[in-house]
Structure 1
């Protein structure tokens, strides 16, 4: 099958948007990732899939810990910044549990890398969650190569006849 067709088909799966941060000699390197999911509740494990060509990949291979910031619906420009795209905004970073994370995100997780698996042109980084915090708000979504926004059914306007 054609790689573009494969990507188009999988683009029909809506995901949230995260920024994965990892310390480096200059402070922090971050990368936008929508290939992120929970793996286990006990112990609490997550996985993030990172392209081997990404600048942050080599740092993640060496890192013992990494941060995950789950972005809010109004943080599209921050997603673009960490993806290296036009229209990116300079991020406001804060410290949580010893790692830099994106300020104002819906959730922050600090993970200790427990395993790595090569999977084609990506590496799966499995992390045990050491610390987390979260707030209320709406997530930034990604669907068919574009950003989207979530509206909870309870927030939908009532229909009148």
Structure 2
């Protein structure tokens, strides 16, 4: 095990990690006929063969146990017009608005997103105060839209650079 420098300030570390621009996802699953969702940006592709993806969920998040119980989850990659959807599932909106879910591959998914990736739980690894859940991809849906981005504590939109 590597030694960790405990002198690094938590806020400095969070700010540095937050400067990495990411897409925004909402992880959804269903347990006992109740739909659960959580905004997350810790998502990545792991393998093409087999098709595997990873999400990282904090041990104190309610979604942590929901994924274990359901043994499956969907990753809803949000489009640039879904900022309020992201805010709702991260608890940033005071009044809870009604969200309508569709079903795809037996999982609740959000409509009007950029993409959806459905997964069966493949493996999990406890790493620090998070669990990395590896999902075996069971389905993919993709629309032609722009992604919702997040960096330095703000939502952002994609802009093409001139060459």
By the TM > 0.5 criterion, same fold? yes
Give CA deviations for 1:80-125 in whole Å, capped at 9, x if unaligned.
Answer: 1111112664322111111110111110111011101011111100
Q: Does 1:133 align with 2:131?
A: no
1:96 counterpart residue number:
104
Q: Does 1:29 align with 2:29?
A: no
In the TM superposition, residue 70 of structure 1 has moved relative to its aligned partner by 0.2
Q: Unpaired runs of 5+ in structure 2?
A: 1-7
Counterparts of 2:113 and 2:49, CA distance in 1: 25
Q: Does 1:78 align with 2:88?
A: no
Query: What TM-score do the two structures reach when normalised by structure 1?
Result: 0.91
Q: Does 1:113 align with 2:148?
A: no
Counterparts of 1:124 and 1:4, CA distance in 2: 23
Aligned residues: 155
Q: Does 1:20 align with 2:22?
A: no
Contact 1:77 1:89 in 2 (8 A): no
Q: Unpaired runs of 5+ in structure 1?
A: none
User: Pairwise CA RMSD of aligned residues?
Assistant: 1.6
Query: What TM-score do the two structures reach when normalised by structure 2?
Result: 0.90
